[in-house]
Amino acid sequence: MEKKRAIIIGATSGIGFELAKILSFDGYIIGITGRRLSLLEDLKKELKSQVFIKKMDVSHAESRGDLKDLIEEMEGVDLVIISAGTGSLDPSLPWDKEKETIEINVLGFTAMANVAYHYFNKKSSGHLVGISSIASIRGGEAPAYNASKAFVANYLQGLRYLLSKNK
């Protein structure tokens, strides 16, 4: 039986970090990405399966190519998890933090989801997972974060709709 292959975008901390450990334990070949190469290398040492590392900052447009390269390097993938994200709890709403949240959680997410969608659509199989939040259902004390997570949820619903129309 061929081993399953998964890429976790944003594996240096939080949910992505833990998912990498779980999928490795389950025997997946893992691709891990993040902005901090040293943390990816530390994680690789903990994982039990074959691991591919790709330094990637989803807030930059060239990350689309990085994801395509990683898929090719891994000789395909069955699962892409987009866990990269950020948010700020600062009621003064500093523009640099709001902008960073939008760049990573909306633009970066969309860039990665778009690559995964086209890859899976072409091969007629695969799973795309986007990490959203309960914050997606209403505004709150982190407006850019809440709005960005609503975007993630709605974008994924749109991709599901498109796939159902293609069948």
Q: What is the set of active-site residues?
A: 145
Distance separating alpha carbons of residues 64 and 53, to the nearest angstrom = 15
DSSP states along 125-141:
--EEEE---GGGGS--S
Instruction: Name 79's bridge partners.
Output: 6, 127
Residues 6+ apart with CB under 8 A from 32: 7, 8, 11, 16, 20, 40, 43, 44, 51, 52, 53, 54
Q: Are strands 51-55 and 79-82 parallel, antiparallel or unpaired?
A: unpaired
Over its C-alpha atoms, the chain yields an Rg (Å, rounded) of 16
